[in-house]
Structure 1
């Protein structure tokens, strides 16, 4: 942790926060030498910029840092890796940032995936008085960083078994029960679609399950797509498309991050987490285009393309979760390139069988700077996933509406009586921004958590 929840020491360098508009007023309170210095270095108070202000002895006396507003979740994220090593504190002057935002943004700005490549230098340390808000910020950052680590870890070291170990560690930390169904046991316990996708890999497919909470509380089921590597199967991807497929378990990583926060904050829910974990590999026993697979629910699905495997494994998990009639079911998945074409990498697609709920989440995501965007479950497109020899096919008739087709496919396995959210996310930063380095990312976790707190804390 680079945030220390302790009374700041006397030697900690103060950081004064300022917006562009607030800089003029703040300048009036500074000594002439400091004003001249800021003019010399050209500091304008822009977000994610800072100025080091020297004292009369030439040593660092204070820092001025530009922020967008007092609730920005990445307000301090540009500082930990750029400021000189040492201890810092937030000054009493200038803009006052919430303790949650301060702890969250500083910790996220300190993140680096250093499993294989050591850091060039330690991050600067922020000292701040312990409070419930500061502790919440650190908890959010911890879950985010853990999610990033899972996605960033190469498939060689993050296969289905390793993903199960990560889930078991989360369960152990929070007192949840853990179990998994592995390999051919999937067929015996009626998870044929998960088995079909993963059977060609040398690393056995599995269904991972966590359960937590009191029986009297409403049931919440979170499902995460855990394709630990996706070759595309027999419909093999090209080299460019396969390069980052270690991240195809990003839905599972985000589901675990969200579940960890639900348990850490002790939401009054009966939580079930389901992760179908597979590697979509190529071998003589790989499932084939044109195959028809019977699912747990009993529907037969025709395989139009083996590279549309995520929805195939999710359908068994969704059907299993629905058997216990949860009040709310959320699935998170790196499901379609079509969603990325429509919305880009930063904006996950949200589908729901409750339009008002989806719109509420869009507004909440914009407020929290953890966005997602409502897309339609457009039922007139359903004929596009009908099969001539089975109930449905896992691809549409063409490339149009690909993300919608995938969501319509999953909808077949969720009863209308259950509130359902389907998040088609990228789980990856393809460009660096403050606090968000290139690589694995937690997306919509903070927004979904805030919604769950609103919905269930009042129940």
Structure 2
């Protein structure tokens, strides 16, 4: 599917946005039959409601959209998107009532409401198209929505059709679309190229592990994105129970999110040099699977004691981050569906992130509020470093005790970022229940906040 605004030159039905209790003020300037219709339908402007307004001949002439109160709007986002699937097919345009500072978000929400995952079954997407409201950057919103569609498609595709080979092909397609360069290191070549942790985690699978390395841009500051591409996670020899394995097709959500962000960056032609690193593996069970108690040596020479083969995402990212840091980028960001601890801490709607840079944290927080992509800063709590030091090796991939699981995973990854300015996202990547502009299924988290923050952070 491709996100689209309505043709701005085509006739469009007006949408009048009305706050809770504002229906009488709006109706007083309308013809008597409209006033009577609004009163008869008891429309009040409550958030999430709408009312079709017929003309004297019964044909639809306008729509009232309830916009609630600031308090009710604070409980969610993309409020107008709820109408997109409910309205009759056609073109619509905002006529009045929408605050100027909300136009960008509501227009994006409408685009995102048009998404449907139709690879295996025909879907009926919303057929009510919105004309880009005055003052919004339509091209930018379309680029953002296209990136989000890509992320959702990748996460929603089951592992049978989105293994390491398919993830590589998706990256190649993205590179070809934007004229980026791409190299892929596969199988035993990972050992030759000193990427041993990626090889170890993925060697038990039918499809060999690989590192996808995409570069784009020839001027400006350097940005490296690393995304966890565990296409399915059985837990390895620490085998997950069935209920915990059910959503593991989304364990490549970090890779899907950085690919969506890369799509946005390249489509918008941001003046920077981009590198995307994706370790693509499947964590499977076989005679060649790595074992609890094994001690592995990472690309940077650090040894890692394996105390749980289900803590594999930090291993594949470790090699990718080391490689990324060798290029001395101005900023390096990793994204991963890394720990259940993050989900427990902040739930599925917030994207928790870690950084030692207060300016970066503030930029992300402000950007998240502007673009309705909520994030939450978590602490790189250095006193917990001892928890990831087992004594028998430099690092422990799964400290015992269960305390601060998201923090210790982030601290583990920080050991591989070197001196590079580094931010890590520990996202959920899944919408557990339908919400406006976000159907149940895969979802991007943090990408739009990053996109909005990058110009200030990198001085673009």
Q: In which range does the TM-score fall when normalised by the shorter chain? A: over 0.9
Partner residue, 1:7: 8
1:315-344 Cα offsets, whole Å, 9 max, x none, are 000000000111100000000000001100
Contact 2:143 2:263 in 1 (8 A): no
**Which whole-Å CA distance do the structure 1 matches of 2:441 and 2:162 have between them?**
15
Structure 1 residue 252 displacement after superposition? 0.3
> What does residue range 121-270 of structure 1 map to in structure 2 within 5 Å?
123-128=127-132, 133-214=137-218, 216-270=219-273
1:357-395 Cα offsets, whole Å, 9 max, x none, are 223312321332101111111111111111222111101
3-state SS of 1:273 partner: strand
Structure 1 residue 266 displacement after superposition? 1.6
Is the aligned partner of 1:81 residue 2:85? yes
1:287-320 Cα offsets, whole Å, 9 max, x none, are 0000011100000101010000000000000000
Contact 1:178 1:210 in 2 (8 A): yes
Structure 1 residue 114 displacement after superposition? 1.3
The number of equivalent residue pairs is 454
TM-score by length of 1: 0.94
Partner residue, 2:423: 421
**Which whole-Å CA distance do the structure 1 matches of 2:40 and 2:166 have between them?**
53
Contact 1:315 1:413 in 2 (8 A): yes
Task: Give 5+ residue unaligned stretches, structure 2.
Answer: none
Structure 1 residue 135 displacement after superposition? 1.5
Distance verdict in 2 for CA 1:324–1:393, change over 3 Å: same
3-state SS of 1:63 partner: strand
3-state SS of 1:108 partner: helix
Structure 1 residue 249 displacement after superposition? 0.3
**Which whole-Å CA distance do the structure 1 matches of 2:442 and 2:346 have between them?**
18
Structure 1 residue 259 displacement after superposition? 1.1
Structure 1 residue 255 displacement after superposition? 0.4
Partner residue, 2:56: 56
Distance verdict in 2 for CA 1:7–1:361, change over 3 Å: closer
3-state SS of 2:204 partner: coil
3-state SS of 2:293 partner: coil
Partner residue, 1:277: 280
**Which whole-Å CA distance do the structure 2 matches of 1:209 and 1:132 have between them?**
34
- Of the structure 1 ranges 36-45 and 294-303, higher mean CA displacement relative to structure 2 is found in 36-45
Contact 2:228 2:253 in 1 (8 A): yes
After the TM superposition, list the runs of 4 or more consecutive aligned residues in structure 1 that deviate by more than 3 angstroms. Answer: 1-5, 21-24, 67-73, 96-103, 127-132
Partner residue, 1:297: 300
3-state SS of 1:367 partner: helix
Structure 1 residue 86 displacement after superposition? 2.3
Contact 2:6 2:91 in 1 (8 A): no
**Structure 2 counterpart of 1:449, from 448, 451, 454:** 451
**Which whole-Å CA distance do the structure 2 matches of 1:318 and 1:125 have between them?**
42
CA RMSD of aligned residues (A): 2.1
- Of the structure 1 ranges 101-110 and 312-321, higher mean CA displacement relative to structure 2 is found in 101-110
Partner residue, 1:316: 319
**Structure 1 counterpart of 2:118, from 114, 121, 124:** 114
Contact 1:102 1:134 in 2 (8 A): no
3-state SS of 1:88 partner: strand
3-state SS of 2:225 partner: strand
- Of the structure 1 ranges 257-266 and 341-350, higher mean CA displacement relative to structure 2 is found in 257-266
Partner residue, 1:35: 35
- Of the structure 1 ranges 205-214 and 42-51, higher mean CA displacement relative to structure 2 is found in 42-51
Is the aligned partner of 1:404 residue 2:404? no
Distance verdict in 2 for CA 1:136–1:223, change over 3 Å: same
Contact 1:200 1:285 in 2 (8 A): yes
3-state SS of 2:361 partner: helix
**Which whole-Å CA distance do the structure 2 matches of 1:405 and 1:319 have between them?**
18
Contact 2:305 2:397 in 1 (8 A): yes
Partner residue, 2:440: 438
Contact 2:234 2:284 in 1 (8 A): yes
Distance verdict in 2 for CA 1:150–1:211, change over 3 Å: same
Distance verdict in 2 for CA 1:130–1:156, change over 3 Å: farther
Structure 1 residue 121 displacement after superposition? 6.3
Contact 1:211 1:270 in 2 (8 A): yes
**Which whole-Å CA distance do the structure 2 matches of 1:328 and 1:99 have between them?**
31
